[in-house]
Amino acid sequence: MPEYRGMNLLVPEHDSEYREYFALAAQGRLAVRRCADCGLLRYPPGAACPWCQSLAWTWQDVAGRGTIVSYELVCHAVQPGFRDWTPYAVVLVELDEQRGQPTPEEALRVVANLVTPDLRPETEENVAINKRVRVIFQPLSDDFALPQFTLSGEPPAGMPWRLPE
Binding site for Zn ion (CB under 5 A): 35, 37-38, 49, 51-52, 54
Sheet holding 41-42, edge to edge: 41-42, 30-35, 57-62
Q: How far is the CB of 32 from Zn ion (least distance, A)?
A: 13
Which of 35, 108 has the CB closer to Zn ion?
35
Query: Is the bond preceding 44 in cis, omega lying within 30 degrees of 0?
Result: yes
Q: How far is the CB of 141 from Zn ion (least distance, A)?
A: 33
Which of 36, 63 has the CB closer to Zn ion?
36
The answer to whether the CB of 65 falls within 8 A of the CB of 134 is yes
In sequence order, which ranges of 1-107 are alpha helices (DSSP H)? 16-26
- Closest by Cα among 106, 109, 149, 111 to 131: 149
Which of 35, 107 has the CB closer to Zn ion?
35
Which of 43, 88 has the CB closer to Zn ion?
43
Q: Dihedrals φ, ψ of 22, to 5°? A: -75, -30
The answer to whether the CB of 64 falls within 8 A of the CB of 95 is yes
Q: How far is the CB of 62 from Zn ion (least distance, A)?
A: 17
